[in-house]
Structure 1
Amino acid sequence: MENEETICRGSCSENLSAVEDAIYVIGGKWKLKIIIVLQEFGNVRFNELQRTISGISARVLSNELKDLELNGFVKRIVHSEQTPVLVEYISTDYSKTLKPVIMSLSEWGKNHKQNIKADAF
């Protein structure tokens, strides 16, 4: 019995650590929104991203894109042969591994909203 409890505690600690790591990488107000937009629209220019995600400032968007690029979720494509230089952002194959997580979160969010509305009235 004691051995099973130790295993469960280790597993719980491992799961908590993994969730903490995931939230650190994709958490916050904007990162998942950026990933979703890039997955839905494909190649997107900076200003188009900013227009699509209402409320995000250029500075915050720039910082979030840098973080997402460092973590392998976004690729920055520079078309230097054009004048002015064209910069686009695209989601990577790695970011597409988040699709099931995003879909689950979306479904949970819809259900939660329904539950709150049902309880409120």
Structure 2
Amino acid sequence: MTTTPEHDERIAKMTFASVYSQYVAKVEKKGGTKEELHEVISWLTGFNELKLQQFIEEKATFKSFFQQATLHPNAHLIKGVICGYRIEAIETPLTQQVRYLDKLVDELAKRRKMETILRIK
């Protein structure tokens, strides 16, 4: 699935901090915790809480955030539709990685089992 260059550029320039607070609100509204959110983000990116806080304080862009991430080997198992895009068909790597994170947060907010969210076989 092709996204527009404008869409990809907008995502690349978006700061992790601006979206992080929305992730927290979404998860907590549905009865989840910030700790669970951090577990999911850590699984996908390899970042610990200290590193996440650093990205928030620095107002790091998603481009910078994912350039420094070590994606989990099972990240490719994250499939489905998010924001009208089929994740596995997104051709731009950064946009796909951001949508991976969005999908994991959605699953957490829907109170799916952590084993399912973390693609544990």
Q: Which bin holds the TM-score, normalised by the shorter protein? A: under 0.3
**Which structure has more RCO (C-alpha within 8 Å, separation ≥ 6)?**
2
TM-score, length-scaled by structure 2: 0.28
- Greater strand fraction, Structure 1 or Structure 2: 1
TM-score, with length taken from structure 1: 0.28
Larger radius of gyration: 1
